[in-house]
Amino acid sequence: MGQQFNALKATELYCPTCRVSQPVRERAVESAGSRTVELLCFRCRTVVGTHTTTEDRSFSGRLARFAGRLLRGLG
Q: pLDDT by residue (tens digit) across 21-74?
A: 999 999 988 877 778 899 999 999 999 999 887 766 677 767 777 777 788 776
Non-local (6+) Cβ contacts of 68 within 8 A are none
Instruction: Give the closest residue to 52 by CA, choosing from 71, 23, 24, 30.
Output: 30
The total number of structural domains that make up the chain: 1
In a domain, 5, yes or no: no
In a domain, 35, yes or no: yes
Q: What is the pLDDT of residue 2?
A: 62
pTM: 0.62
In a domain, 40, yes or no: yes
Q: What is the pLDDT of residue 48?
A: 97
Instruction: Give the closest residue to 41 by CA, choosing from 66, 7, 61, 13.
Output: 13
Range of the domain at 39: 12-74
Coil, helix or strand for 75?
A: coil
**Helices H / strands E in the chain, number of each:** 1, 4
Q: What is the pLDDT of residue 1?
A: 55
In a domain, 59, yes or no: yes
In a domain, 62, yes or no: yes
| Strand partners of residue 35 | 30, 53
pLDDT band at 17 (very low <50, low <70, confident <90, very high): very high
